Amino acid sequence: MRWKRCNIKSTALLGNVMHYQQGHAAGHSETLLYNQHGELTEAAACNVFVVKDGVIATPELDHQKLPGITRLMLLEILRKDGTLPVEERVVKLEELDTADEVWITSSSKEIAPVIAIEDKPVGDGEVGDMWLAAQTLYSAHKFDF
């Protein structure tokens, strides 16, 4: 658990670093975080998107999440294009179990597909079509900012 003001970017990201290191020691490349209500918040160093039935969802920003610039850019690009439906809403942890696709975003990773969580495949365990469409749009428009 991070402190209660996760939306403030500071040098006090020790909690996230520790989550990341713990996940890395277990053989994972990132760690997904959630709150005491079973709501997905973010990853240790990324924001998270979940795709189900053709709809892209990402947790809405509040004090529990660090707002990422790549997340912001992707949302703006997707909304401006209008071909891929996107929602900012509460994302329950259980939704990861039935997600068709999961992505993480960050400045260094841009949009990265997640193909497995805890060794369980996400969707069919392959990079999804929605990710490809979103990545294509992002690549075409990221320099517009």
Cα–Cα distance, 106 to 71 (Å, whole number): 7
Is 9 among the residues known to form the active site?
yes
Tell me which of 4, 9, 80, 109 is the catalytic residue. Answer: 9
The catalytic site residues sit at: 9
